[in-house]
Amino acid sequence: MFKKGSKLYAIRKSKCPKCHQGNLFKSSLLSGNGIYNMYIKCKECDQDFEMEPGFYWGAMYIGYALFSFYMLGTIALIFFFTDLSLNQSFGITLMGGLLMIPYVARKSRVLWIHIAIRYNKKIADKVAERKAVKINHK
Ligand SMILES: [Zn+2]
């Protein structure tokens, strides 16, 4: 399911939606260089990552859905499977949630661009071929 070349792999690894090979972000989340430190275009296939101003506003809805799902699910799990009260369950879940905000914000952008742009096998094959040629010439 998370095999290289699959959509889920590209989402998990934050890869370009069109070729599944170029990175969307310049650095990892833990590097401290900002949550939204994205490339303007794909380094491999030249796909534009910000097609129009405000493109990523839509990612807010994805982030809202992901965060709500996490909060409700985790509160229910803690409340029903431990002896903690509802308020304690909420507090623990919220603390975890606050730590997850940068990750959720990034992943919602990744999901949003993967909804907007389709995978293109022809372009992906061209990129893979070009990469193979580069490696052979080293
Ligand atoms: Zn690409």
CA of 37 to the centre of ligand 1 (A): 17
When the pLDDT of each residue in the chain is averaged and rounded to a whole number, the result is 91
What is the pTM for the complete model shown? 0.86
Query: pLDDT tens digits, residue range 79-98?
Result: 999 999 999 999 999 999 99
Alpha carbons within 13 A on the beta-carbon side of 46: 2
Separation CA 90–CA 107 (nearest Å) = 23
Predicted local distance difference test score (pLDDT) of residue 133: 85
Is 137's pLDDT higher than 90? no
Confidence of residue 10 (pLDDT cuts 50, 70, 90): very high
Mean pLDDT of the region 29-36: 84
CA of 95 to the centre of ligand 1 (A): 36
CA of 49 to the centre of ligand 1 (A): 9
CA of 48 to the centre of ligand 1 (A): 9
CA of 60 to the centre of ligand 1 (A): 23
What secondary structure letter does DSSP report for 46?
A: -
CA of 1 to the centre of ligand 1 (A): 21
Q: In percent, how much of the chain has pLDDT > 70?
A: 98
Residue 59: name the closest of 119, 123, 14 by CA.
Answer: 14
Is 65's pLDDT higher than 80? yes
Separation CA 16–CA 29 (nearest Å) = 17
CA of 83 to the centre of ligand 1 (A): 49
Predicted local distance difference test score (pLDDT) of residue 35: 86
CA of 13 to the centre of ligand 1 (A): 13
Burial classification of residue 39, based on how many CB atoms lie within 10 Å of its CB (0-12 exposed, 13-18 middle, 19 or more buried): middle
